[in-house]
Structure 1
């Protein structure tokens, strides 16, 4: 549950369902975390841990507590070694490689794992929840390598880095600087946790890394969908396109709600119906005429993706689950990340299609054979200096490269299940790889959007320079042009554009400009 107090947002764990927006707010430092102070919530957590203690004392045979893990379930653990077993689980999984997750993603991982354990059926102690929440509150973020998970038994290896920090090992980020966890604990006077018998398994056996990345991807995808709509309006203006392709009566005949919303945004952006729109083509090429249909695949998929992600976020997804009220131990496979894998595989495909759409629009805009009288490559140079100036020629090549790489990344990760761990984990989700793929496709597509935003504004200005009697630019488009020009002046003489493109990409990822009303929250 998220509440607002005096302009500071608080996300409360154990007090209702969390949303994607709550996780993103915590990840981006816009919210503070707290545990519910409801007595019933903490009592339920304590009952689960107490039941597990009684069961261990009375029966002495519990998976992952008195047995080895996974295929080693048949190997009993002597009673005097049971307290050491969770620490061994955290340590032998300390083999992650690849780049480390960024701080936003690390915070999101802490939030998603805390949310899962706060469901009250994982057999952990209140102290464990309090320590996870404390890490978020103090912004002490475990270093988590992003590679090494097959997405069932959950995100074991990356989550082992969270567990390791709790017990005072490996490294964490403090004030953005990487430091040994033991050193930070000594400075703060904090004792490492001693994990109770099932707590290593409860921390690591779940889908929290893939779900955290999915929350961040959802937020970025929603914004990119809106930005692609705005860029399409700029492209339509620059290419003297036919705005009546977005007519309300036309779209009433195809009742996808997201499709109708995208068309309405384009009509508003272009002031269609209030300004004359002339085109020498009865029908524009598909990248303009069918743009709403491409973009709306995202708009109409957002509610479905939200359902998959938020249900996973608010699930208990370790194994076994511990029902301290009815006193049951339930063995299952909730660590399987298939729902996140499907959401991310489909999302990355839809996002890559946005990049491909913008790439096609830009190809028209820079080509003097198709751009209806604009200078080749959108060069702003004049007279004889046009001979040595090449405008957006290289930018268009870059956009083509980024788009191709995004499209290449869309092969579904979920179809690459591998049998692992002595064929115990013989069908796995690959959900974490799918989520990482999706974030990479987002990065590439945001780069495409930044370049097309820059070119679209240049194209609009060049078009209007050809029209002596041009009416004022519609307000939404003018606001976007002004925002872009605050970062990048018109391109007249050739100059390196890398720094300006990077600044635009950063602004996109920070969602610096308001665009349209949010969709996809149904």
Structure 2
């Protein structure tokens, strides 16, 4: 269901696309259009391709075969058929379909890249793709099959099969043959001209779409991790000294400074902190004391991915590039390595965020924390308490570790050796997104256990924001005195994390209380 649009139109090929902007387009909050100047640029570039064909100038992919067949010249009358064969022969993806939103992001990113006017695409083809975006008629794209080098060939081939009446489309929650859906909507297949099929399937849009999803969801996890760490620190009566601004000025990594500032604001005016300010404990375990260093390092990795993704989604990743009739270049703009490495890095960052969360969960259940009962329940023995929730986080953390091997470290030659080094960035994106999915579940369990431990500090109060966070959690997950079925609590907590409900609530309450929650680095850690 498309949401009501309230923002100014986005001009494909002209405006700078942000990660939040791409998501707005995919979610129907904003509409993308082609300006008259862009339409002319695309049309002029298309004419260059027509002239190349007519004058029989040999240009890869326009009037030659592909990959190792690049020396095979194609007759002018067959250059159109070549594009159809390309889409059909490259539609070899396997596995489950990617989400509809990811597929729609691929369409959006491809239109933006093609509208730059260097790919020889026809205006009519661009307009048909935009029709798919605007009408939410989304192609079905299998998740496996790209090696992330000549672009995401197989996923993109599946993405654009419906243009020629083939492939599959989502209709409501069902997958149906594209020909059937298009016929029902009164739309005929379009005719592709020379170079168009190659322009459609050359590119990094599968990897880039996954990067957008990871940037958004990992940012949400990072924001939650700070809040839940503060809640858990209060439950375990940890020290705030390790968040001191003067301390962090001595090692001013952007992420660490940002997290330390957030922790200070979350814990400001806490009665719990004041109650043990002069205790005899010298220092806390690392999972509490090193929150800024660990969370901050993951934020820096996230920032690297965000910056790379911004470049990628505003770039031309086609091949060959058509500058003019006399200047066409077969380069490597499609190679996924620039984004594959940051995708793997982000997966590692997400895994480490889950790792330290699990350590805090475990620590809160031990008898070493004064004032907290073993396993966070008063009457254990008959009751197992929260013991088994940590089993789940341990399993998820271990699974994430197994997913951390960098796919970009591997390369298997393809195309009879023509493509002798590939990035495997599509795998980097898929598995890093899976790591983030597991991380959301780990943080959801810390949300439950931290709220449980926090209750044992009553009647003392924490800072305003932490009290508000606890109040919202308790509005749906009650304090646990005896064993019960936890799956509904966990399901609610996962939804609360994924929906950003807790973040939105705290931002709203901070605004009402005139609390400036973020610091000077907040803008660089945003997605708009």
Give the TM-score, by structure 2 length. Answer: 0.92
- Cα deviation per residue 1:346-369 (whole Å; 9 max; x = unaligned)? 11111111011101111100122x
Where does 1:80-479 land on structure 2 (aligned, <5 Å)?
80-271=77-268, 276-278=274-276, 279-324=279-324, 327-368=326-367, 370-379=368-377, 382=379, 386-464=380-458, 470-479=459-468
| CA–CA distance in structure 1, aligned partners of residues 365 and 386 of structure 2 | 7
Change (3 A) 1:267 1:431: same
Change (3 A) 1:224 1:9: farther
Change (3 A) 1:10 1:511: farther
| CA–CA distance in structure 2, aligned partners of residues 178 and 8 of structure 1 | 31
Given that 1:9 and 1:31 are in contact with CA atoms closer than 8 Å, whether structure 2 keeps it comes out as: no
| CA–CA distance in structure 1, aligned partners of residues 180 and 138 of structure 2 | 14
- Cα deviation per residue 1:448-503 (whole Å; 9 max; x = unaligned)? 10001111011101232xxxxx4333221122112222332222222222233223
| CA–CA distance in structure 1, aligned partners of residues 57 and 248 of structure 2 | 66
Change (3 A) 1:248 1:213: same
| CA–CA distance in structure 1, aligned partners of residues 525 and 365 of structure 2 | 37
Given that 1:306 and 1:520 are in contact with CA atoms closer than 8 Å, whether structure 2 keeps it comes out as: no
- The residue that corresponds to 2:524 in the other structure is 520
- The residue that corresponds to 2:510 in the other structure is none
SS at match of 1:172: strand
Where does 1:30-109 land on structure 2 (aligned, <5 Å)?
30-37=28-35, 39-109=36-106
Change (3 A) 1:356 1:133: same
| CA–CA distance in structure 2, aligned partners of residues 151 and 31 of structure 1 | 30
Given that 2:14 and 2:116 are in contact with CA atoms closer than 8 Å, whether structure 1 keeps it comes out as: no
- The residue that corresponds to 1:467 in the other structure is none
- List alignment gaps of at least 5 residues for structure 2: 507-516
Q: 1:277: how far off?
A: 4.7
- The residue that corresponds to 1:25 in the other structure is 24
| CA–CA distance in structure 1, aligned partners of residues 9 and 448 of structure 2 | 37
- Between stretches 330-339 and 65-74, larger displacement belongs to 65-74
- List alignment gaps of at least 5 residues for structure 1: 465-469
| CA–CA distance in structure 1, aligned partners of residues 172 and 25 of structure 2 | 15
| CA–CA distance in structure 1, aligned partners of residues 24 and 488 of structure 2 | 28
Q: 1:520: how far off?
A: 2.9
SS at match of 2:138: strand
SS at match of 1:403: helix
- The residue that corresponds to 2:511 in the other structure is none
Q: 1:327: how far off?
A: 4.6
Q: 1:519: how far off?
A: 4.6
- Cα deviation per residue 1:143-184 (whole Å; 9 max; x = unaligned)? 111110010101000001111011121111123332211111
| CA–CA distance in structure 2, aligned partners of residues 413 and 276 of structure 1 | 48
Given that 1:418 and 1:426 are in contact with CA atoms closer than 8 Å, whether structure 2 keeps it comes out as: yes
| CA–CA distance in structure 2, aligned partners of residues 94 and 121 of structure 1 | 24
- Between stretches 231-240 and 165-174, larger displacement belongs to 165-174
| CA–CA distance in structure 2, aligned partners of residues 277 and 342 of structure 1 | 46
CA RMSD of aligned residues (A): 2.0
Give the TM-score, by structure 1 length. Answer: 0.93
